[in-house]
Amino acid sequence: MDGHTMDRTEIERFLAQSLADRKLSGGEKQALAAWLAEHAKSDQRKGEIRHAAFELARIAVADPDASHVVAWLEDAMKAIVPIQPGSAPREMSPDSAYFSPGEECLQRILRRLHSVKRAADLCVFTITDDRISRAIVDAHRRGVALRIISDAEKANDLGSDMQQFQQEGIAVRLMRVMSADSRSSGHMHHKFALFDGLRLINGSYNWTRGAAAINYENLIDSADPGLLQRFAAEFERLWNG
């Protein structure tokens, strides 16, 4: 398809057709780049197309050809957001790090929850900080598609808000982690979240009041495409496992 003839609705169909064979061909790259140059000049529009590509890949990584999906996504990102040596795309704010005790980490999580527009995937050991829980529920009520993976054992702890999320209609998966011989158990100990396929937050920071008030913790906020791809694939693996 000629890149100059694709309208705003056709671009997502074009991406889906490209992904069908798990490869972005040279001709498809040229068509995509041509369409972007003419119709996606703003950072916001490019972000929307990036989100569409990540959504397609997120759905597809559950199939047996997931490794090819990642390769397709890498090629698509190079076309949508070409990176020149020594530079970064304007829509990507720099990666940043935050630390506790203190509210740096908390405020970064709240900022992402308040600004997310379409979808958020949260993969967190436990959530007991009501400030974060309120932001999650608010996002759900304004139409954000939310999925939460958390540890099944911690979901029963005093102060856990998993039951509240389920009652709100938020999609929640509680994981029980057993050893291969089923003689010992572990935990779903991740603490990461993905927002609109554009931002990743990850680190030791537990989503609890104690983490902000007492603990030495860290949190990284990143737009790195490679990290987004890896963490999105891990979320899908756990969600569909």
List, by residue number, the catalytic residues. 189, 191, 196
**Dihedral over Cα of 151, 155, 161, 166: its sign:** positive
CA dihedral 16, 17, 20, 23 (to 10 degrees): -100
Task: Answer yes or no: are the C-beta atoms of 125 and 115 closer than 8 Å.
Answer: no
User: In terms of DSSP bridges, do strands 191-195 and 199-202 run parallel, antiparallel, or are they unpaired?
Assistant: antiparallel
DSSP letter assigned to residue 207: B
CA gap 236, 240 in Å, rounded: 6
**Pairing state between β 171-175 and 145-151:** parallel
Grouping H, G, I as helix, E, B as strand and the rest as coil, residue 9 is coil
Number of residues written out for the chain: 241
* Helix, strand, coil abundance in the chain, percent, nearest 5: 50, 20, 35
- Report DSSP state, residue 127: B
